């Protein structure tokens, strides 16, 4: 045994002593230095899911539309006419905390490769972002991340069409940067990531390999601390122009039928792509690292195998197609080199010329990763914060002032500063753009009249205060946003962002959130077809607010019947579809105005939620609605204000209902609760709107009408809000700029 191994080098690579002992037992010998590195990255949480795998089995993953669930590079759902959507969301949190521009940019590049490796053309990008609130570094990270996402997406010509941004002090040291990509494919051209066909060549295509990103997978599987800045070299550097060439060349060889299997060289680089492709096919694989195109000199086999240099793919073409594959890539100005072959012995063999430098059964890296059943414990804060009575805070004296503060807060303010840096119209298929609706809507131009709706969502505060309800509410809100455009939810992808799972309180949060999400997915008919787990999101021992981000995908049979959020014309009637809110617990209002993240999280009736969503879609399909807008952060007052701003028109609201007589004004206006949508319709459609809601058995209350240039809200004979739409819009549009300009 070498002195380096005697010194416990496996610990520096992220393996425990017990895991190293298991490796020795599986091999029947001591591993060499390279083999330890292979196990370290493949048995990391980022690649091996060793802390999360038992819990992830709770998700529903099948359904009538599901063509491919978890286990491949991305999920696939049927949208009819021989077409399918391919989609997935992933995190790039730790790299973005160290180098925000490149961390975010390469996160986009990686998720795009997961889509086109299956033969789908990427057609849309989305993001879900979390940052701190009060320090200069949070603003630096925010600016760098947004710039990185915009730069990469714009350069490759894929529109960034939707997303969400949330600010809270818990994210100050550890931002969350989740990127989602959606692709379109003809079902018969779907490609899978398996190295099948003994004797078939193995090729690496795209960029040359450098030393960037080595041990990036293990870096993503540990907490951030004072030394994390020293890991800056582990952050990859992306080249979006090369990625664009890679997209076109990979899609061409798939379209021409040359490919048996393909996979992105993402986390763990050559190690993960080769071992996973062999494992999926039940084959072996042999590669020679001396044949891998390099951009740096004197790279060792260890560095070559663990490099996470960007814009690279592993391709297994049909035997005899090597030359034509190389010709395609050369035409696009890219490398395409045979580095090995598929074998029938089940072994994972790495050679350096004639010398074997690592050899072991491929399944040991993928199938034998240890699985941990962690202890779980309800956090001490949970019951204490849950018992907080929201009525203990004083009722506002000036509701106009409160609404303006809420609309100007970074969490509700206009995100134009973000999305104006994104080209959301490249491809000219985006028909509901950022800011105009609850979800993005794209037409399938060549396949009219269908369209798709896309959205990411999660209320991190809800999940912190009640992980089970928060998880269910994340799924409900994401699918409700699709329904507000008229789209039927098909499936979801998720990115589960949590702290250190070795802490019982964090693992409890994680499991409870997954249980809540699973219940909502089953009730709403939205199976989980792909996703990612991101643990160890902590800084100096303090975890971020748990954030199980949901990326939802929906289908419109007639994109011409889509619905946006803005009020349209004077005289239109405004309704609340769904119940009133009961309290301000866990709300943005309580947090912003009273400084309390506390109180009971709104309860959700999933049966009612499904009925509300179905009713909204039915009304839109019949052409009865002028607008539809989900009620979420900020409650009813914020939703009404947003619909006024989008429509550049006012509204007069009169709420005189027996159900409201004993409720405070802040609960009525700023209370948050699920299963609620603000809709508007022409007066001529009023009777049919009420008839449909009666048939569906859902609550419907007429609130008032679209009118004038002011938002006026009266409830229980008291005038609460009287503000010009222009003044609300001014506060709303200036919120992010004001936050960024703080000294």
Same domain, 604 and 554: no
Catalytic residues: 46, 92
Same domain, 155 and 234: no
Same domain, 124 and 236: no
Q: Provide the pLDDT for residue 640.
A: 98
Distance CA 543, CA 223 (A): 9
Is there a domain that residue 296 lies in? yes
Peptide bond into 449 cis (omega under 30): yes
Same domain, 462 and 436: yes
Same domain, 567 and 698: yes
Tell me 268's DSSP state.
T
Residues of the chain with pLDDT under 70: 1-7, 215-235, 447, 743
Domain boundary among 520, 539, 560: 560
Is there a domain that residue 320 lies in? yes
**Structure tokens that stand for 347 in this block:** 């072994």
3-state secondary structure of 38: helix
Is there a domain that residue 447 lies in? yes
Is there a domain that residue 384 lies in? no
The total of other beta-carbon atoms located within 10 Å of residue 618's CB is 17
Is there a domain that residue 526 lies in? yes
- Tabulate helix, strand, coil % of the chain (nearest 5): 40, 25, 35
Tell me, letter by letter, the H, E, C secondary structure of 134-175. CCHHHHHHHHHHHHHHHHHHHHHCCCEEEEEEEECHHHCCCC
3-state secondary structure of 487: coil
CATH of the domain at 350: 3.90.650.10
Same domain, 124 and 273: no
Burial, 428: exposed, middle or buried (Cβ in 10 Å; 0-12, 13-18, 19+)? exposed
Query: Measuring CA to CA, which residue among 386, 376, 374 is closest to residue 505?
Result: 376
Same domain, 527 and 543: yes
**Structure tokens that stand for 599 in this block:** 């109180």
Distance CA 100, CA 645 (A): 32
Domain boundary among 338, 369, 400: 369
Q: Max Cα separation, the chain? A: 88
Same domain, 585 and 683: yes
Is there a domain that residue 375 lies in? no
**Structure tokens that stand for 535 in this block:** 């643990």
3-state secondary structure of 439: coil
What one-character-per-residue DSSP string does 322-336 give? HHHHHHHHHHTT-EE
Distance CA 152, CA 156 (A): 6
**Structure tokens that stand for 136 in this block:** 């200069």
Query: Measuring CA to CA, which residue among 701, 707, 715 is closest to residue 670?
Result: 715
546 contacts 91 by C-beta, under 8 angstroms: no
404 contacts 537 by C-beta, under 8 angstroms: no
Same domain, 418 and 551: yes
Q: Provide the pLDDT for residue 669.
A: 97
Tell me 602's DSSP state.
P
Distance CA 267, CA 44 (A): 10
Please name the residue that has the structure tokens 């398996």: 194
Is there a domain that residue 448 lies in? yes
CATH of the domain at 103: 3.30.1330.10
Domain boundary among 539, 560, 581: 560
Range of the domain at 629: 563-743
Q: Provide the pLDDT for residue 201.
A: 97
Please name the residue that has the structure tokens 């004197």: 298
Is there a domain that residue 28 lies in? yes
138 Ramachandran zone, left/alpha/beta (phi>0; psi -120 to 50): alpha
Tell me, letter by letter, the H, E, C secondary structure of 494-544. EEEECCCCCCHHHHHHHHHHHHHHHHHHHHHCCCEEEEEEECCCEECCEEC
Same domain, 350 and 225: yes
Query: Measuring CA to CA, which residue among 9, 18, 4, 17 is closest to residue 37?
Result: 9
Same domain, 507 and 599: no
Same domain, 479 and 594: no
The total number of structural domains in the chain stands at 3
Q: What residues pair up with 547 in beta bridges, in sequence order? A: 497
């Amino acid at each position: 045994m070498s002195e380096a191994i005697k010194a416990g080098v496996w610990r520096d690579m992220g393996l425990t002593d017990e895991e190293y002992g298991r490796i020795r037992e599986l091999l029947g010998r001591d591993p060499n230095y390279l083999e330890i590195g292979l196990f370290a990255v493949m048995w990391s949480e980022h690649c091996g899911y060793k802390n999360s795998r038992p819990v992830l089995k709770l998700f529903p993953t099948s359904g009538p539309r599901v063509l491919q669930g978890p286990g491949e590079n991305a999920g696939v759902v049927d949208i009819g006419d021989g077409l399918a959507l391919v989609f997935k969301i992933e995190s790039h949190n730790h790299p973005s905390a160290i180098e925000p521009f490149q961390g975010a940019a390469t996160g986009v590049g990686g998720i795009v490769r997961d889509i086109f490796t299956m033969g789908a053309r990427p057609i849309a990008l989305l993001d879900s972002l979390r940052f701190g609130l009060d320090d200069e570094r949070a603003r630096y990270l925010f600016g760098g991340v947004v710039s990185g996402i915009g730069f990469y997406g714009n350069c490759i010509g894929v529109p960034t069409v939707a997303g969400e941004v949330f600010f809270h002090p818990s994210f100050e040291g550890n931002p969350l940067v989740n990127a989602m990509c959606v692709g379109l494919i003809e079902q018969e051209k779907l490609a899978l990531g398996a190295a099948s066909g003994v004797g078939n060549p193995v090729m690496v295509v795209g960029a040359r390999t450098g030393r960037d990103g080595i041990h990036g997978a293990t870096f993503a599987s540990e907490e951030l601390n004072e030394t994390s800045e020293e890991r800056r070299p582990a952050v990859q550097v992306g080249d979006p122009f090369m990625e664009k060439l890679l997209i076109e060349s990979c899609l061409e060889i798939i379209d021409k039928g040359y490919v048996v299997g393909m996979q992105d060289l993402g986390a763990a680089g050559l190690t993960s792509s080769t071992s996973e492709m062999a494992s999926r096919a039940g084959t072996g694989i042999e590669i020679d690292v001396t044949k891998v195109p390099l951009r740096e000199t004197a790279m060792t086999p260890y560095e070559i195998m663990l490099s996470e240099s960007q814009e690279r793919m592993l391709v297994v073409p049909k035997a005899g197609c090597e030359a034509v594959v190389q010709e395609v890539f050369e035409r696009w100005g890219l490398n395409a080199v045979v580095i090995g072959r598929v074998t029938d012995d089940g072994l994972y063999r790495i050679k350096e010329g004639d010398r074997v430098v690592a050899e072991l059964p491929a399944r040991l890296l993928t199938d034998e990763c240890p699985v941990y059943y962690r202890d779980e414990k309800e956090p001490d804060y949970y019951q204490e914060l849950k018992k907080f009575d929201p009525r203990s805070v004083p009722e506002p004296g000036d509701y106009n002032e409160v609404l303006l503060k809420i609309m100007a807060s970074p969490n509700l303010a206009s995100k134009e500063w973000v999305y104006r840096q994104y080209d959301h119209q490249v491809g000219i298929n985006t028909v509901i753009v950022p800011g105009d609706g609850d979800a993005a809507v794209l037409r399938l131009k060549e396949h009219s009249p269908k369209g798709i709706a896309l959205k990411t969502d999660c209320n991190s505060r809800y999940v912190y205060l009640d992980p089970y309800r928060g998880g269910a509410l994340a799924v409900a809100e994401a699918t409700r946003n699709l329904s507000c455009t008229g789209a039927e939810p098909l499936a979801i992808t998720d990115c589960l962002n949590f702290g250190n799972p070795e802490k019982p309180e964090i693992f409890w949060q994680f499991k409870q959130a997954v249980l809540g999400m699973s219940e909502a997915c089953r009730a709403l008919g939205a199976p989980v077809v792909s996703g990612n787990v991101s643990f160890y999101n902590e800084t100096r021992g303090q975890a971020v607010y748990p954030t199980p981000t949901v990326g939802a995908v929906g289908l419109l049979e007639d994109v011409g019947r889509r619905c946006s959020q803005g009020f349209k014309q004077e005289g239109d009637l405004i309704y609340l579809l769904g119940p009133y809110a009961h309290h301000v617990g866990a709300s943005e209002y309580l947090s912003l105005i009273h400084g309390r993240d506390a109180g009971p999280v709104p309860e959700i009736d999933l049966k009612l939620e499904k009925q509300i969503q179905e009713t909204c879609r039915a009304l839109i399909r019949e052409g009865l609605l002028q607008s539809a807008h989900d009620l979420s952060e900020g409650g009813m007052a914020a939703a009404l204000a947003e619909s006024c701003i989008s429509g550049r028109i006012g509204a007069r609201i009169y709420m005189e209902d027996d159900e409201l007589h004993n409720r405070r004004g802040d609960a009525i206006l700023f209370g948050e609760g699920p299963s609620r949508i603000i809709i508007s319709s022409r007066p001529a459609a009023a009777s049919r709107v009420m008839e449909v809601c009666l048939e569906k058995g859902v609550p419907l209350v007429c609130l008032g009408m679209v009118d004038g240039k002011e938002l006026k809200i009266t409830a229980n004979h008291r005038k609460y809000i009287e503000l010009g739409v222009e003044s609300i819009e001014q506060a709303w549009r200036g919120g992010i700029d004001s936050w960024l300009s703080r000294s």
